[in-house]
């Protein structure tokens, strides 16, 4: 056995250190190299099935919505759904598994890593994945005849920002849950209504006033509106900056919320 004694280091460590965040992300990336096939399959296939079913099913019955063909309408709307699925669910289930069963976060906290860094790393990593997976329905729609504008290159960035917000939401809920069964309430009571009232499959302008007001504070609606603008409708600078600001605000809010809830969960 080699010597393990050496003089102590006395360098200050900051509250959020890039080395710790990247270190936690490197763990996630290493695990991802093992399970990327299943993760990718589950994140892409379901939104794609929705796209094909609604695009070709309802698309045959509906000629256009707001000047867009139904395929264009749904093809851009389902991007947001892919973002939701590939960010909120890993945030919910992945976090729960890591703190309750695998005790991965306990291992990190015994090293010079704080809860802020764990949450930041998880959010960034899953947000990056959402930034990639969110494009899948769009690519399928392109294969079936959608002609995107050049500004469509901004879609990964929009998906990333929206994804970060939904991961934070998932982590915060997960850290507050007593049992994994509680997630059924969130899936049925929050996530499903969220993507149904985001303007994904039909416009929210026909909703009753109260429901329409609720839809406007639905972060997914702002993701849908942004994606639709940059891909097919064209950029409306002020309105789109507003949508982006809403998504950034949602991301910041859920990031802090996730840190608070996970700290309560992990630190006695």
Partner 1 sequence: MGVSDAPAIALRGVVKRFGPITAVAGLDLEVPPGICLGLLGPNGAGKSTTMRMLTAQAIADEGSIEVLGWKLPAESKQARAEMGVVPQLDNLDVELTCRQILTVFARLYRVEPAERPAAVQRALQIANLTERAETRVDLLSGGMRRRLLIARGLVHRPRLVLLDEPTVGLDPQIRQELWSLIGALRAEGTTVLMSTHYIEEAERLADTVCVMARGLIVARGRPAELVREHAGAQTHEVYGPPARLEELRAQGERAGWAMRRSGPALAIMHAERHDGLLPEGVRRAATLEDAFVALTGEEIE
- List residues near partner 1 by CB under 8 A: 1-6, 8-13, 19-20, 22-24, 26-27, 30-31, 34-35, 102-104, 106-114, 266-268
Q: Rank residues 35 and 63 by Cβ distance to partner 1 and give the closer one.
A: 35
Rounded distance between C-alpha atoms, residue 141 and residue 209, angstroms? 32
Q: Rank residues 158 and 259 by Cβ distance to partner 1 and give the closer one.
A: 259
> Which helix (H) or strand (E) covers residue 69, if one does?
strand 68-69
Residue 65 per-residue DSSP state: E
Rounded distance between C-alpha atoms, residue 64 and residue 80, angstroms? 20
Rounded distance between C-alpha atoms, residue 72 and residue 69, angstroms? 5
From the CB of 91, what's the least distance to partner 1, in Å?
Answer: 19
Q: Rank residues 103 and 236 by Cβ distance to partner 1 and give the closer one.
A: 103
The encoded tokens of residue 143 equal 């294969």
Q: Rank residues 117 and 240 by Cβ distance to partner 1 and give the closer one.
A: 117
- Which residue matches tokens 């270190």? 23
Residue 143 CA: distances (Å) to CA of 71, 106, 132: 11, 45, 17
Residues near 3 by Cβ (< 8 Å), separated by ≥ 6?
none
Rounded distance between C-alpha atoms, residue 229 and residue 216, angstroms? 16
From the CB of 178, what's the least distance to partner 1, in Å?
Answer: 16
Q: Quick one: how far is CA 162 from the chain centroid?
A: 6
From the CB of 190, what's the least distance to partner 1, in Å?
Answer: 30
Q: Rank residues 35 and 179 by Cβ distance to partner 1 and give the closer one.
A: 35
From the CB of 12, what's the least distance to partner 1, in Å?
Answer: 7
From the CB of 125, what's the least distance to partner 1, in Å?
Answer: 13
Q: Rank residues 19 and 188 by Cβ distance to partner 1 and give the closer one.
A: 19
From the CB of 268, what's the least distance to partner 1, in Å?
Answer: 4
Rounded distance between C-alpha atoms, residue 159 and residue 33, angstroms? 22
Q: Rank residues 11 and 237 by Cβ distance to partner 1 and give the closer one.
A: 11
Rounded distance between C-alpha atoms, residue 258 and residue 168, angstroms? 5
From the CB of 25, what's the least distance to partner 1, in Å?
Answer: 10
């Amino acid at each position: 056995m080699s010597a393990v004694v050496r003089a102590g280091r006395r360098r200050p460590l900051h509250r959020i250190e890039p080395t710790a965040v990247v270190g936690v992300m490197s763990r996630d990336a290493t695990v991802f190299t093992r399970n990327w096939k299943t993760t990718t399959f589950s994140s892409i296939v379901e939104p794609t099935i929705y796209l094909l079913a609604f695009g070709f099913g309802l698309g045959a019955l509906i000629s256009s919505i707001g000047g867009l063909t139904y395929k264009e309408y749904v093809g851009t709307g389902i991007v947001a759904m892919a973002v939701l699925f590939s960010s909120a669910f890993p945030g919910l289930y992945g976090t729960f598994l890591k703190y309750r069963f695998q005790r991965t976060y306990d291992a990190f906290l015994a090293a010079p890593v704080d809860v802020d860094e764990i949450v930041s790393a998880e959010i960034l990593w899953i947000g990056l994945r959402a930034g990639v997976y969110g494009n899948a329905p769009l690519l399928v729609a392109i294969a079936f005849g959608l002609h995107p504008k050049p500004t469509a290159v901004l879609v990964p960035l929009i998906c990333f920002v929206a994804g970060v917000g939904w991961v934070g939401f998932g982590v915060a809920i997960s850290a507050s849950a007593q049992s994994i069964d509680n997630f059924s309430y969130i899936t049925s009571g929050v996530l499903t209504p969220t993507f149904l009232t985001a303007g994904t499959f039909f416009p929210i302008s026909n909703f009753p006033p109260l429901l329409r007001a609720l839809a406007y504070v639905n972060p997914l609606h702002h993701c849908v509106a942004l994606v639709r603008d940059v891909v097919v409708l064209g950029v409306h600078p002020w309105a789109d900056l507003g949508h982006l600001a809403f998504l950034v605000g949602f991301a910041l809010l859920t990031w802090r919320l996730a840190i608070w809830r996970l700290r309560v969960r992990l630190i006695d």
